[in-house]
Structure 1
């Protein structure tokens, strides 16, 4: 599909799961076409098998809020378009249906309760200031590595009470968890699994330390002492660890990069922000909409159902393309424009809806807000000096590198 004209390609040939169109940033035309001509679209052949694409905001909401028919269960395929190997299924609470989902989610949700976020704010601000003050002035550096990865990895290390000097292991495991063989990160599926088993071994040592200690406020201690999580089998524990690592890393990390890129691509908005820093409050959710850090979530139909005039059969794979729903002009005004003072900036799909709505959404917003507050005080302008390098994935809509410069 790479190199084909989205306006004229036959509908049956459109396969928006191809990672290449995300890496080269040509996916928009195909999603525009599907929203216009075939909002609930069946793709019979892809590297991930046959699947339905749901591309409009309200149809996505209908799927996301109907967990009775559209299952997230890892044993049915889970939440990503690719099916797991039968010998490497990772149950995690986002890839479970109620009531088990609800019980496990409840164990970790206190870490992002308002009172705990208020306690974390000072720590996040102190670390953000340290990273921002260490940025070189007048020379090029990689924003992804210096700010986006490092800030989110420091945050994860804090939430897990993870050994500080080894925190970049979290970054690696997050990347490996969503990697595909041949994408430059892992050579084979066996190599990917081996690294994730190493992750499990490391976190099992931490679990054993915490389970034999008094309950504390970190995520591993919460899981080790939680009534519905303390008896997890190893793969379920690994699944939940991967969920918390990826959820706490990829989303915030790629929004930190995407926000700076969006401001550089829209200098009128950057000027508006500098003139009125109070707009950070509405800019943060607009960044998260604009970036859409996770391009899709997948469900599996538990029963035959009609959606958008199409007959979806029991067992069918149904993919909600958040990246497309966030550009639906029937629901969001001027969706292709980056507007930091939107009237309803939180009207977006990036966090999902229903029982699986992102548990850490307020933490993500808080991290972005703090970074932009401290950046504007110190460096009112940061220039993107080269087009960013995007990762090869139709799930994580992210960046491998973005070179920037602070004018001297």
Structure 2
């Protein structure tokens, strides 16, 4: 098994050395390179300590308040009347960057800058948000999850049984992407042979040319066009022939959603794709990485598989698959001693709040039997709390039950390649090896 010292991004040491030499007002965590290099931690540490509600002028991204402490994030997240989602849930490009993007041929629709757009229920305020959310929530109800559990377990077992023994392979591609794509295709009522289209489209939404997913804006436009066309066809089909338990059918026939325009429908499809795909797949990958980085915790898990549910919650906290959410102030508001003005963008850095040592004991450590393991920000709070949180936990629980039944060890061979995104905090690839089966 890898020793903990071997798993640390090289850029992190440089960031630690440099961040405290900078003036506090110049700290900017909204840089995709920091996430790609896993070098964000000392930036957030200093902001939490010295400037937890930090004004960030326009850079590549629009100007915003960076909120980095757990309790301040909770104050924003649970107050939808003051902090609105109507302006979109992720940081958008600055005006200067928009000009550059347009000049380069970018399509300035949702996701043109590596984040989902505004035509989705999570980017709405009540009552419209509540009505649309209520339409799809039965798909991930406890009743429906109980029905889906044997199918998820069967698929997880088949994926794990197909893995090579004694040779390197990419865990992200072979396991994390595969299980989540299978589950999401089921929720959409799609043929399983189309499941990896969801992976590709989800990655395309979140990417810009040069990120390693698409090479040009023309390619992105073509991919997004294919994505839209596929789901508009599915929408038309489900209008006539609905399927029980399928989210497209629910949207096509729900009182609050059946008459929505195509942009709103596609916005909700993007939301459900990213919410059901990126978050769970990156937490599955994150669990393998974390257990290798903390081999004492891996040994503890092998010795006591009953810790799996607690380990799942700790992974979701420690990984934080969505790094931030944005809101817009509807009026002037005091937060952390700062006056947020009406119209200001406010960014809740969940990834930082989940490492706040004033609320969470030893937050940088991965502790699978942590007390109150579900005390994390990763699913959000208030009206926008993640609708599929129980499904995410269920998939992680099942995959680890099946892993422990098969393999005594899964070894991460080197630092993984991470996603260059300030929104989705995830892994592009992770080389692992399974020495033997049980």
TM-score normalised by the chain length of structure 1? 0.96
Paired position in structure 2 for 1:340: 368
Structure 2 distance, partners of 1:367, 1:87, is: 32
Paired position in structure 2 for 1:8: 21
Structure 1 distance, partners of 2:176, 2:109, is: 34
Paired position in structure 2 for 1:274: 302
Structure 1 distance, partners of 2:237, 2:79, is: 39
Match for residue 395 of structure 1 among 401, 423, 426: 423
Give yes or no for the alignment of 1:143 onto 2:168.
no
Match for residue 227 of structure 1 among 238, 252, 255: 255
Cα pair distance change 1:215/1:257, threshold 3 Å = closer
What SS does the corresponding residue of 1:52 show, helix, strand or coil? strand
Paired position in structure 2 for 1:300: 328
Contact 2:78–2:383 (Cα < 8 Å) also in 1: yes
Match for residue 184 of structure 1 among 209, 212, 222: 212
Structure 2 distance, partners of 1:353, 1:87, is: 27
Paired position in structure 2 for 1:321: 349
Gaps of 5+ in 2: 1-10, 99-106, 111-116
What SS does the corresponding residue of 1:20 show, helix, strand or coil? helix
Give yes or no for the alignment of 1:81 onto 2:81.
no
Contact 1:125–1:370 (Cα < 8 Å) also in 2: yes
Give yes or no for the alignment of 1:407 onto 2:420.
no
Give yes or no for the alignment of 1:48 onto 2:76.
no
Deviation at 1:295, TM superposition (A): 0.4
Deviation at 1:12, TM superposition (A): 1.5
Paired position in structure 1 for 2:114: none
Paired position in structure 1 for 2:202: 174
TM-score normalised by the chain length of structure 2? 0.90
Deviation at 1:182, TM superposition (A): 2.5
CA offsets 1:324-351 (integer angstroms, 9 cap, x no match): 0000001001101100001100000000
Paired position in structure 2 for 1:165: 193
Gaps of 5+ in 1: none
Structure 2 distance, partners of 1:224, 1:215, is: 10
Structure 1 distance, partners of 2:192, 2:299, is: 38
Structure 2 distance, partners of 1:371, 1:193, is: 35
Give yes or no for the alignment of 1:207 onto 2:220.
no
CA offsets 1:83-142 (integer angstroms, 9 cap, x no match): 597765541011111100000000000011111100000000000000001111111110
Structure 2 distance, partners of 1:189, 1:65, is: 37
Structure 1 distance, partners of 2:90, 2:219, is: 20
Deviation at 1:188, TM superposition (A): 4.0
Deviation at 1:194, TM superposition (A): 3.5
Query: Cα RMSD between the aligned structures?
Result: 1.6
**Which runs of 4 or more aligned residues in structure 1 lie more than 3 Å from their structure 2 counterparts after TM superposition?**
1-4, 83-90, 187-191
Cα pair distance change 1:405/1:226, threshold 3 Å = same
Cα pair distance change 1:7/1:405, threshold 3 Å = same
Paired position in structure 2 for 1:61: 74
Structure 1 distance, partners of 2:90, 2:253, is: 29
Contact 2:320–2:350 (Cα < 8 Å) also in 1: yes
Cα pair distance change 1:71/1:188, threshold 3 Å = farther
What SS does the corresponding residue of 2:271 show, helix, strand or coil? helix
Deviation at 1:223, TM superposition (A): 0.5
Contact 2:189–2:243 (Cα < 8 Å) also in 1: no
Structure 2 distance, partners of 1:232, 1:11, is: 46
What SS does the corresponding residue of 2:182 show, helix, strand or coil? helix
Give yes or no for the alignment of 1:284 onto 2:312.
yes
Deviation at 1:190, TM superposition (A): 5.0
Contact 1:144–1:400 (Cα < 8 Å) also in 2: yes
Contact 1:90–1:238 (Cα < 8 Å) also in 2: no
Give yes or no for the alignment of 1:132 onto 2:155.
no
Paired position in structure 1 for 2:44: 31
Contact 1:200–1:234 (Cα < 8 Å) also in 2: no
Contact 1:40–1:307 (Cα < 8 Å) also in 2: yes
Structure 1 distance, partners of 2:118, 2:216, is: 18
Give yes or no for the alignment of 1:123 onto 2:151.
yes
Give yes or no for the alignment of 1:92 onto 2:120.
yes
CA offsets 1:300-359 (integer angstroms, 9 cap, x no match): 111111110001111111100000000000100110110000110000000000000000
What SS does the corresponding residue of 2:405 show, helix, strand or coil? helix
CA offsets 1:182-202 (integer angstroms, 9 cap, x no match): 212223445424422221111
Contact 2:36–2:418 (Cα < 8 Å) also in 1: yes
Structure 2 distance, partners of 1:318, 1:188, is: 31
CA offsets 1:266-298 (integer angstroms, 9 cap, x no match): 010001001100000111000000000000001
